[in-house]
Structure 1
């Protein structure tokens, strides 16, 4: 059983995605139907939709669209991680609306597309602390040099569960292991942070191999263990690094020396617990 905790769907006829123009290979309609055909072949039985950084005015509509897609026959969608703006004074009211929607299981605000000091604002931090007791996790999408900002949030809100996306976004192509490993070790010391084993093939060279990924996987496994690791496809971004089937195959290879129980934790059990699936 595999639960995909990081699926993006793109419907350009329904929502606005300002960033797509800068990534031509992803500037397409990448729908539930396209994803599900391959996902079922590789053993994925459920998926969480991850917000796709739509135009701010479309944030509520994105969640509504995904919830409607989940009601379609044969859908793999089991919930959504919604976009949010913790730096906004409107966040408390938005949180109240989301709490009335059980389909939403968490939030994300992509932090590497905004100035580094956004997450340091008093209002941002106050609003993140509001997640304590809600059962909603907060995904941290940061570059290696910003992990210290993520650490600060985890420390300021110890009762909030955080998820470090894409293993902390290492620059595998440029050999960025040394600048990445220390911050990852440090954030792993926070018990309220889980790492998401997702996205890393897209950060390798075009001809990346399993050997390129092994040191990064070994480092997160050593520091987070398998009780605080969840798998995600990052589809369709993973198509930039070989595709869904390639990433599934690579993950199985990376986990080849791991016990069956730990594999099940990474592929499904931790996701069930974190997102209450």
Structure 2
């Protein structure tokens, strides 16, 4: 039986000679280069056929340099990069001009602003919401990168900008190791009621603690599946962060095991179809 080919919607790449990554100073296990060549070798072995690059929270002055770098990587054809989810600063007054410049960069398919390291009020600002709303014009989806406790803030942002399409990263970053289920599960159910929100099944192997098991992960992934349905789920590898929870081969194998009894159509949605619709790739 042939395994489903995967479109990885969450690929990070790091080149410290080319770009600046201030946050790496606080993440020693990840503090080295993560080149496309290393990812490509594993990806091909695992049935990952293509990927979307996910911004890596570079220093703010280097955001557009990161886009240029990934455009070059895509042109190199080392591995099929079908799009870029670029970094953005909706809280900034020059965000509309940034959106205008992105219109000339067709590989950019979406935008993310890392919010889990920012003050909670960042996403509540009027300018932030006004600028996120502007993304409806070019139809650029916005990736929601929030902690589980910030899910109510994400819901507020979605409700304030109903014409924008959103993707909730990493199943809402649940504290699986701490078994912090109740609030997370309730908020996942609530945000899933918004039809313009999809969910990315990614990241969870890094949240399960050293002793995570397949059954343990399946409980959390099962809940987002029940709330969103396969029609609004996509898959992300979250390389290299997934190396904190066993690595890309472990995460791919775990996902395939969790969805083994899904219909072929539902697996195809998770592994590629939903992503192709969201980011138009």
| Inter-partner Cα distance in structure 1 for 2:35 and 2:99 | 27
Structure 1: give runs of 5+ residues left out of the alignment.
none
1:24 & 1:74 partners in 2: Cα distance?
Answer: 27
Secondary structure of the 1:109 match is strand
Q: Who is 2:226 aligned against?
A: 222
Query: Equivalences for 1:1-277 in 2 at 5 Å?
Result: 1-277=5-281
State TM-score, norm by structure 2: 0.97
- Contact kept in structure 1, 2:86 and 2:111, CA below 8 Å: yes
Say how many residue pairs are matched: 277
- Aligned-CA RMSD value: 0.8
**Contact 2:8–2:237 under 8 Å retained in 1:** yes
Give the whole-Å Cα distance in 2 for the aligned partners of 1:4 and 1:234.
8
Q: Would you identify which runs of 4 or more consecutive aligned residues in structure 1 move more than 4 Å?
A: none
Rounded Cα–Cα distance in structure 1 between residues aligned with 2:102 and 2:115 = 21
Q: Tell me, yes or no, if the aligned pair for 2:36 and 2:78 is still in contact at 8 Å.
A: no
Output one character per residue of 1:191-238: Cα deviation in whole Å (capped at 9) or x when no partner: 000000000000011121101101101110110000000000000000
Q: State the secondary structure of the residue aligned to 1:53.
A: coil
Alpha-carbon distance, 1:74 to partner? 3.2
Offset from partner CA, 1:89-130 (integer Å, 9 cap, x none) = 000000000111110000000111110001000000000100
2-side partners of 1:264 and 1:117: how far apart? 38
| Structure 2: runs of 5 or more not aligned | none
Q: What TM-score does the superposition give when structure 1 sets the normalisation length?
A: 0.99
Q: Counterpart of 2:127 in 1: which secondary structure?
A: helix
- Give the CA deviation at 1:21: 1.2
* Equivalent-residue separation in structure 1 for 2:211 and 2:279 (angstroms): 34
Tell me how far 1:73 sits from its aligned partner: 3.0
1:267 is paired with a residue of what secondary structure?
helix
How far the C-alpha of 1:135 sits from its partner, in A, is: 2.1
Deviation at 1:266, TM superposition (A): 0.3
